[in-house]
Amino acid sequence: MMIALVGRVGSTRGSVPLYLGAPVAVALGVVVLGETVHPAAIVGTALVIMGAWLTSRSEARQQPNINSEDAEGASLA
């Protein structure tokens, strides 16, 4: 399943679900087992979610790909 995901959206965006395992484990520990959450876990969860968001946001800010027609035109100029 991961191979299909990476093939479809790329390796960077395809790895985002792997980062969300720790925050899900913390949430399940609180809900299911009644564990208490240390403030560092809350900060870490926020950082992981922010990093996942930054990684998976739209690719509009990335540099455009140069296709073969643009490359040929640039070499002729």
For 53-67, the pLDDT digits (tens) are 887 776 545 555 556
Q: Are the CB atoms for 23 and 45 separated by under 8 Å?
A: yes
- Per-residue confidence at 9, pLDDT binned at 50, 70, 90? confident
**Does any domain span residue 24?**
yes
| Domain limits for position 27 | 7-56
User: What is the biggest distance separating any 2 CA atoms in the chain, rounded to whole angstroms?
Assistant: 68
Instruction: Copy the structure tokens of residue 33.
Output: 């087992």
Domain count, the chain: 1
Q: Is residue 73 part of a domain?
A: no
Is residue 70 included in any domain, yes or no?
no
What does the pLDDT look like over 10-58, one tens digit per residue?
Answer: 777 777 788 888 889 999 999 999 999 999 999 999 998 898 888 777 6
Residue 2 lies in a domain: no
Q: Output the pLDDT for position 32.
A: 96
Long-range pairs for 65-72: beta carbons < 8 A, 24 or more residues apart: none
In a domain, 72, yes or no: no
Q: What sign for the dihedral angle of Cα 56, 60, 63, 68?
A: positive
